[in-house]
Chain A
Amino acid sequence: MGFFDLNVPYDAASSPSGKADRVRIATKAMELGYDGVAYNRSMRGVMSERDRCSIPPLSLAALLKVAPSLSSSVSLHRGLLGLPLASAFRQYTRLTVLAETVAQAQVLNSGNPVLKTYDLVAVRPLNQAVFDHACEKSEVDIIAIDFSEKLPFRLKLPMVKTAIERGVYFEISYSSLISDPQMRRQVISTAKLLVDWTRGKNLIITSAASSVNEIRGPCDVANVLSLLGISMEQGKASISKNCRVLIANALKKKKFFKEAIRVEAMPSSERLGSEELWSGDLLKWDPLSSGDGDILLDDLKKSFSISNKVSGTVKAIDFNSIINSMSSEGFQVKDLTYGNKAAELSLDQSKTLQCASRVVSSFTRDNESLEPGKLDGLNILSKQNQSPLFGTSTLHRMPSNKVSEKPVLLSEAVDVAEDREEIGSIKALWHKNAVSEALVKDAGLQTPCCDDSKFVVSTPYIWDTILPASLNRGVPQGLDSCAVRNGDPLEKDQESQDSKSAEAFSGIHCATDEKTMESLDLRPREELCLVSDNLLSCEDVSGSRQVREHTDDATLCEEVMHSSKCDDSIELNDESESDESLEGVAVEPQTLEQGDAGISQPNLNLMSSDEGRTRRKLRYRSVAFPLKRLLSPVLFKKKARKHRRKF
């Protein structure tokens, strides 16, 4: 819960004394316990290329020159404020555009390249029309209003409300309160109006201090604002929490594609794919870092070494340049060079994936500790665990055996409407075993999950890798028979058969495709339901019934025996036996559990087949339609029966 001062004026053309002022202000802010400052540059008039960000962040050395006892002072104040002693002091860059006409305000949109060079963008409206435009449409982070003069426009409640809903913050500067007694009157009366309209929300307080005398400690500032009608709690929030949220959002917009993926350029000498990097990188993402300008204050020596290494950081690269450099076909699966026959086969069938990002791990753990600002794509993995795969963009690492010189390309599904192939490949990427990956991918590339299951059943390899959901579900026997017959790992035959049955069911499964695929990947429990839906749809198809009838249990048994590794096939066999009963209500819970295990995410499927075997043996009674009860949903089984008996 750090404190930020987001307005330290910076003047590009200032004299050396001006520069010295900036150093002093930054030092003072750090001493007083602030966690970060933003150097603010104002500009007026027409924006041009010359207005790109050229604000140099200050180095620790410069700060230490001004205040040699900086670290002890900082630790004293941070201790008193209850802040962690070793958190970095951050520097951001900010641009304030003084807009006089609506045309100037319209420049402030997300396509403006000059704005992208700054961390924060603020607009200072000078008349009513510009203010309205700024509240409603401008892509800015902050609306800064100069309260020291009588406002030339009115603050209207609907406008203010719109701005708050959009996530724009209003800024109040307190330096005019401190410096000039005459101005105090004006500031307090106009700022009070803003506070009333916003009710304290979406406000940030900044210093706009032109000299060191005008900066104050964070608690003091919060207290002075109580004069404006902001409660102490809101005041403290406006100088800490609101600033933090604002910075995090602004940096997300600037550096992430669609606010979820960070793209980094990876130096070719970097080591890839090492498993160690995963967890280390995950935890090191720093949402408030602007990439450089973070000053750590551990001890003097260390801090000096850190500041030297800052230059070695990897910057986030502009996503658009990546997209433009990609081939028109987008990301090809073959780029992944699995070198596997199955993969090649799948390539033929697969569409090209739409590449959304190129995510690479850019640094080893050694560098990490010194450069907290570095982001790794993996941090998104943590997000992924919490949200559906296809809801947000997520990133995957290349499997360990894919160390290659060229940058790692990972498939990325941005669009919610995924293709199976994409799903398959994403599933594949989770695996450590390339073979299994390829096969799984291949499996995924086949038609829907039912097919997936049977494909997997037949191939011994895939046993160890994926226990497909639908497999244990009592897939319609027709499919099973096809699958089981291919007990030997004859992929070609299998595939041909698969394709045949695939055709039969393609029509059915299209609708449930995406859904089932989604569920397969993510949530075991939910997957069950969706898979069951899929299965039910399978069941409902008359074709499946016919095929089932045609099967010869005996042949099934034989073939099952052939495939020694196909443990699940035994289960299928049993399933086929009990299939006749068609009532699997009692066994449903078991099968559900079993399905749970089966559907367990690909990266968990390295659960030993031994476990699975014992579990499966217990479930001989698993039936073809374990989830048939879902056809006619009732609240509780028992109650339903009672009702039925009564009526």
Chain B
Amino acid sequence: MVGFKNRYMVMEVFLDPNRELAVDDPIILTQFNVSKAIRDSILVNFGECGLASSLGSFQVKYVNPITKLCIIRASREEHQKVWAAITLVTSVGNCPVLFNLLDLSGSIKAGKKAALKCDELKFEQYKLASGSCLSPEVIQQMHNYQEKIKILEH
């Protein structure tokens, strides 16, 4: 039997909500900087013990810098704390951010499905927003990212 129960959170990130449109992204999201930001937030809000207990299963599984989508895993016992900490994150690096949860599921399979759907929709929005300057590279990258989602394992 599986001993470890996890929760997979699909979140979207809004980078610098205050900025004007048509400005490029201030930073590029990577697994590393998202993870760091969240860990700092847990440390500030829940202390050393809080960080230690949530660090066991905590992992940022997937980040898509184009559509700003993330899949974050946390243990079932600690997922509410981790979620609260994520909500309280104010900046990634020196860029103010806004996290918003899209989907919460208990298995990676459901998480993948939700992520694929949200990815599609968000990419549509991205295309609308960017207008005509949509290079084929971006499309290729999107494709890669979607493949990545499908490969995800717990």
Contact = CB atoms under 8 A, between A and B. Distances in A.
Contacts of A224: 84, 87-88
A211 B96 CA distance: 11
A124 B88 CA distance: 26
Nearest to A181: B44
A215 B18 contact: no
Contacts of A24: 17-18
B61 interface: no
A219 B121 CA distance: 20
Nearest to B91: A213
A72 B100 contact: no
Contact of A76 (B45, B125, B129): B125
B99 interface: yes
Contact of B17 (A72, A80, A212, A217): A212
Contacts of A32: 100
A72 B121 contact: yes
A68 B87 contact: no
A579 to B, nearest CB: 77
B152 interface: no
Interface residues of A, number: 29
A192 to B, nearest CB: 15
Contacts of A73: 125
Contact of B87 (A28, A69, A181, A216): A216
Interface in B93-125: 96, 98-103, 118, 121-122, 124-125
Contacts of A69: 125, 128-129
B146 interface: no
B80 interface: yes
A223 B84 contact: yes
B133 interface: no
A227 interface: yes
A629 B96 CA distance: 81
B130 to A, nearest CB: 10
A215 B121 CA distance: 22
B90 A184 contact: no
A221 B122 CA distance: 22
Contact of B80 (A68, A216, A223): A223
A217 B101 contact: yes
Nearest to B129: A69
Nearest to B103: A80
A178 interface: yes
Contacts of B21: 66-68
A22 to B, nearest CB: 13
A335 interface: no
A149 interface: no
Name the residue among B18, B100, B101 with the largest chain A CB count within 10 angstroms.
B100
B90 A178 contact: yes
Interface in A347-378: none
Nearest to A219: B101
A28 B17 contact: yes
Contacts of B102: 80
7 contacts: A28-B17, A66-B21, A68-B21, A215-B98, A220-B100, A223-B87, A226-B80
Interface of A: 24, 28, 32, 66-69, 72-73, 76, 80, 177-179, 181, 184, 211-213, 215-217, 219-221, 223-224, 226-227
Given A72-B125, A76-B121, A212-B18, 19 more contacts: A24-B17, A28-B17, A32-B100, A66-B21, A76-B122, A177-B88, A178-B88, A178-B90, A181-B44, A211-B18, A213-B98, A215-B98, A217-B100, A220-B83, A220-B99, A221-B87, A223-B101, A224-B84, A226-B84
